[in-house]
Amino acid sequence: QVQLVESGGGLVQAGGSLRLSCAASGRTFSTYHMGWFRQAPGKEREFVAAINWSGGSNYYADSVTGRFTISRDNAKNTVFLQMNSLKPEDTAVYYCAATVHWGAIATRLRNNYAGWGQGTQVTVSS
């Protein structure tokens, strides 16, 4: 079982960038696909991006395609989310989680994930 800790959030102006990190404990990190989700106040937690175990394949939500990039470093047990051209509507708590499911639909389903971290707040001012 993997345990996850997110970091890197903060306050940024619209158009700015942030890089989130998700550090995993446990020796099985490289066997999991990883995902980022976010939850804005009063809204459900939504899919942002996912990356497969090797880092060779990924999926993105339409709302972040072209602006966000997910990557991973299995040697450091860490997954990243580079966020560029941030918008006020990107404001949310961002979470990472692990999954054994892969595919365009499976990776978007919150219930397919486990090991949720505590989240990191991202606030984008206009």
| CA triple 10-14-16, angle to 5 deg | 65
**Environment class of 42 (CB within 10 Å of its CB; exposed 0-12, middle 13-18, buried 19+):** exposed
- Strand residue runs (E) in the chain: 3-7, 10-13, 18-25, 33-39, 46-51, 58-60, 68-73, 78-83, 92-99, 113-114, 120-125
pLDDT at 91: 98
pLDDT beyond 90 at 2: no
pLDDT at 92: 98
CA-based Rg of the chain, rounded to a whole angstrom?
13
Q: Which amino acid is at 61?
A: A
Question: How far, in Å, CA of 49 to CA of 65, rounded?
Answer: 9
Contact assessment for residue 22 and residue 96, using Cβ atoms and an 8 Å cutoff = yes
pLDDT at 27: 77
Per-residue pLDDT reduced to its tens digit, 57-101:
999 999 999 999 999 999 999 999 999 999 999 999 999 999 999
Give the strand pairing for 58-60 and 68-73: unpaired
Q: Compute the average pLDDT of residues 39-56.
A: 97
